[in-house]
A = this chain, B = another copy of it.
Amino acid sequence: MVTIYDLAKKLGLSPPTISKALNDQPDISESTKEKVRKLAEELGYTPNSSARGLITKKNWLIGMIYEEEHLGLDVEHPLFAGIMNSFKARIERAGYELLIISRVLGNKKLSYLEHCRYRQVDGILILNSTIDNPEVLHVIHSEFPIVSANIVYPHVCTVTSDNKEPSMQAVRYLYSLGQRRIAFIAGPSEYSSSPAVERLEGYILGLHEIGLEYDPELVVYGHHWNVESGYNAMKDLQQRKIHYTAIYCAADVLALGVMKYCQENDIHIPDELSLIGFDDSQWASYSHPPLTTFRQNRQVIGELAAETLLKKINGEDVDERICVPVDFIERQTCKKIDEFYLTRLGKGSTM
């Protein structure tokens, strides 16, 4: 390993001069800088982040806290890779690298917080955690600059998709198609997941806005954010023997479960049932029929999270909550209500 001392010796200069030349300090002559850079290149010198970080207290490292196994998420969370990629690209441009924080170190278990201190990260991104994770709560009350993506924590700067307005829009849209009995398949209620909560709020708000009554019988919770939960929720809904002609789902995967149920039970979408999802997953345009849904803008979420964190690191003020608009993607799972089919779904009567 080539060090600054090797360069110093070869050039007959002192280590501090080498250091300053390499860092392009103003008090070093251009000719010296030239010589130093040339030799450094020749010998393949690379600085050592540990030595540098030890003395400067700056490590150019962002810690990412990312919980993969919870909420019953499928291994691949639809937002994870996209947000991570754009976040990474943005912090990279500012000179930071991304370290995935774990909870084990050697044979010792460390908390996230201890780990962040151990690595002396300059800032922390919390991605897809749960709101009541005590490990994460410790981090949140720490001295580090922090930004959360997707999940809202009190007093923590958070970047998420707008969840309320699109939910209201979903209701409005269905209403405009003549739908009056609009069911909602919500996200899991056991876990405190802010998107789940906010989408439900938006649904209720949307009904109020339009003047439709909110009927709790029309709301069913998916146990997890996955297809099976959507399937089971739909089954549950059917067993309630109530009347409805449309379903808004808090996630595409839930909607996919509904579609599966409908296929098996010969319920025709959109003729008999209108359906809206949330996420615009990769497959949403290829489902049968293509799913009407809301596209979350992963790239913007990641970028804004990065920019906000960078600001915090630099001591600038930032907003506590940043909402990223969502795009409504109209495909083919919704239809103007059709009197012909009106009576088929559910044996209830209230209309």
A: residues with CB less than 8 A from B are 1, 46-51, 53-54, 59-60, 68, 74-78, 80-82, 85, 88, 92-93, 95, 97-107, 114-115, 117-120, 227, 256, 259-260, 281-283, 286-288, 298
Enumerate chain B residues within 8 angstroms of A68, measured Cβ to Cβ: 85
Which of A50, A54, A102 neighbours the largest number of chain B CB atoms within 10 Å of its CB? A50
- Beyond A49-B118, A95-B105, A281-B283, 6 additional contacts (C-beta under 8 Å) are A60-B105, A76-B81, A77-B81, A92-B104, A95-B104, A98-B99
Closest chain B CB from A175 CB (angstroms)? 28
How far is it, in angstroms, between the C-alpha of A117 and the C-alpha of B80 when the chains are bound?
A: 28
Closest chain B CB from A99 CB (angstroms)? 5
Cβ A48 vs Cβ B287 within 8 A = no
How far is it, in angstroms, between the C-alpha of A77 and the C-alpha of B281 when the chains are bound?
A: 13
Copies in the complex: 2
Which of A47, A49, A99 neighbours the largest number of chain B CB atoms within 10 Å of its CB? A49
Closest chain B CB from A316 CB (angstroms)? 19
The dominant DSSP class at the A interface is mixed
How far is it, in angstroms, between the C-alpha of A60 and the C-alpha of B288 when the chains are bound?
A: 48
For A46, give its contact among B50, B81, B117, B260 (CB under 8 Å): B117
Cβ A260 vs Cβ B286 within 8 A = yes
Cβ A93 vs Cβ B99 within 8 A = no
For A81, give its contact among B54, B81, B98, B288 (CB under 8 Å): B81
For A100, give its contact among B98, B227, B281 (CB under 8 Å): B98
Enumerate chain B residues within 8 angstroms of A102, measured Cβ to Cβ: 88, 92, 97-98
Closest chain B CB from A286 CB (angstroms)? 5
For A49, give its contact among B47, B80, B120, B288 (CB under 8 Å): B120
Closest B-chain residue to A108, C-beta based? B95
* Contact A107 to B95, CB < 8 A, known contacts A282-B283, A286-B259: yes
A-B contact pairs, 21 of them (CB 8 A): A1-B117, A49-B120, A50-B50, A76-B76, A76-B78, A76-B82, A76-B282, A81-B81, A88-B100, A88-B102, A92-B102, A95-B105, A95-B106, A97-B101, A97-B105, A260-B286, A281-B283, A282-B283, A283-B283, A287-B287, A287-B288
Enumerate chain B residues within 8 angstroms of A101, measured Cβ to Cβ: 97
Enumerate chain B residues within 8 angstroms of A103, measured Cβ to Cβ: 92
Closest chain B CB from A65 CB (angstroms)? 12
Enumerate chain B residues within 8 angstroms of A119, measured Cβ to Cβ: 49, 97
How far is it, in angstroms, between the C-alpha of A254 and the C-alpha of B306 when the chains are bound?
A: 34
